[in-house]
Structure 1
Amino acid sequence: MKQFLLITDLDYTLVGDDEAMAQLNQQLDFHRQQYGTKVVYSTGRSPFLYQQLASEKKLLEPDILVCSVGTEIYINGSQDPDSTWADKLSQAWDRNLVKTISATFTELQPQAESEQRDFKVSYFLDEKIAGQVLPELERALLEQGLDIQVIYSGGQDVDILPRHANKGMAMTFVRQHLEIDVTKTVACGDSGNDIALFAHREEKGIIVGNARPELLDWHNANPNPNRYLATAKFANAITEGLQHFGFLE
């Protein structure tokens, strides 16, 4: 066995079955001590909601925490987001203009203030009208020259981010920071905001068996031998995938 880098989403991916997570945590903790394996959480949650989850569930302390859909990176337990990553995202990002344009779409309901971050503007949107509203929203933002992306996940969450900010680009930044080879990196997810972890990537990917339709539809339309669709759910799916790729016995 040897070192690898695990980057995993939290809600409905690592978290969802407490017993399965406890068993996986035990294996990961041993692997981290023996081989220097690194554990990174990549979540749509803000730091505030992450701390809330960490107080409720027995999570391993991550080596790096990626919050707010890839827009904030906290290294080695730091309370301050990495400034190099923040500087990269600040280019061509106009948060006030994003908010002004988005406010004209009455179908969008703002998320809690804790979820409105420096590089993320977030709303709720009913799944029934998302297919109509999202293209119009993206078009309105792009027409103003904004270099953005609009991500929809979980059947309700709309996140507007800088073009260069998502979980996949954050994964590349983290992997390079840790100096771990792409072939020894594996990402895990369950929903639309995790697509960036898997799209056009050389890293291994694990999609949990309980994944959302938006991710499963994308997975089926974009086959890749580096990606594994587990039959198990939640943390058991991560264990299944890590065994499939030979990272765990």
Structure 2
Amino acid sequence: MAGKRAPICLVTDLDDTLVGHCADGARSQAEFFEYWDRVQRPLGSKLVYNTGRDLESFRELQALEHLPEPDAFIGRVGCQIFLCAAESDGECLPACTVRDEDWTQRLMRTWPAAAVEEAVGMAK
């Protein structure tokens, strides 16, 4: 199987990583996304944005920077995960609106809310 490419999963931050990191950023981004659409996407590769931004803030940046739709969006530093599927439960939905409920429930069960509130209170 020499020479055959395998699909990859690229997980990238946005601010000062994928966008806004250099003077010729727009050209570099365009070249990367052209490569992604031409080579990686047909292989079944997945593009995931992982950022501190929430979904609404990401959508604003996406429009401004002309970012392609990811396969998944991890926002608020892992507190939100959206699977960007065109279809969910037989209903066609806009991309990145399907919240990963399994992750949300797992996070809610294990999140030490009292400890976080105490730590935040001590930091004030």
Query: Normalising by the residue count of structure 2, what TM-score does the alignment of the two structures yield?
Result: 0.75
State the match for 1:25 in structure 2. Answer: 33
**Counterparts of 1:105 and 1:38 in 2: how far apart (Å)?**
39
Structure 2 residue 30 is matched with structure 1 residue 12: no
Q: Which has the higher contact order (CA 8 A, sep 6+)?
A: 1
State the match for 1:43 in structure 2. Answer: 51
State the match for 2:111 in structure 1. Answer: 93
Kindly provide the amino acid, as one letter, of the partner of residue 48 in structure 1.
E
Deviation at 1:46, TM superposition (A): 1.1
Structure 2 residue 82 is matched with structure 1 residue 82: no
SS in 2 for 1:103: helix
Change (3 A) 1:29 1:18: same
Q: 5 Å matches for 1:44-193?
A: 44-76=52-84, 77-95=95-113, 98-106=116-124
Kindly provide the amino acid, as one letter, of the partner of residue 12 in structure 2.
T
| Cα pair 1:22 1:58 within 8 Å, conserved | no
State the match for 1:149 in structure 2. Answer: none
**Counterparts of 2:111 and 2:42 in 1: how far apart (Å)?**
42
- Give structure 2 stretches of 5+ with no counterpart: 85-94
SS in 2 for 1:73: strand
Deviation at 1:78, TM superposition (A): 3.7
**Counterparts of 1:56 and 1:5 in 2: how far apart (Å)?**
24
SS in 1 for 2:77: coil
Identical aligned residues as a percent: 29
Superposed CA RMSD in Å reads 1.8
How many residue pairs get matched? 106
String of CA shifts for 1:120-167, please: whole Å, max 9, x gaps.
Answer: xxxxxxxxxxxxxxxxxxxxxxxxxxxxxxxxxxxxxxxxxxxxxxxx
State the match for 2:91 in structure 1. Answer: none
Query: Normalising by the residue count of structure 1, what TM-score does the alignment of the two structures yield?
Result: 0.39
| Cα pair 1:40 1:62 within 8 Å, conserved | yes
Deviation at 1:48, TM superposition (A): 2.0
**Counterparts of 1:40 and 1:28 in 2: how far apart (Å)?**
12
Deviation at 1:103, TM superposition (A): 2.9
Deviation at 1:101, TM superposition (A): 3.7
Deviation at 1:98, TM superposition (A): 2.1
| Cα pair 1:31 1:37 within 8 Å, conserved | no
String of CA shifts for 1:188-214, please: whole Å, max 9, x gaps.
Answer: xxxxxxxxxxxxxxxxxxxxxxxxxxx
**Counterparts of 2:68 and 2:105 in 1: how far apart (Å)?**
29
Kindly provide the amino acid, as one letter, of the partner of residue 70 in structure 1.
G
Which of 3, 6, 9 is matched with 2:7 structurally? Answer: 3
**Counterparts of 1:78 and 1:60 in 2: how far apart (Å)?**
12
**Counterparts of 1:78 and 1:23 in 2: how far apart (Å)?**
24
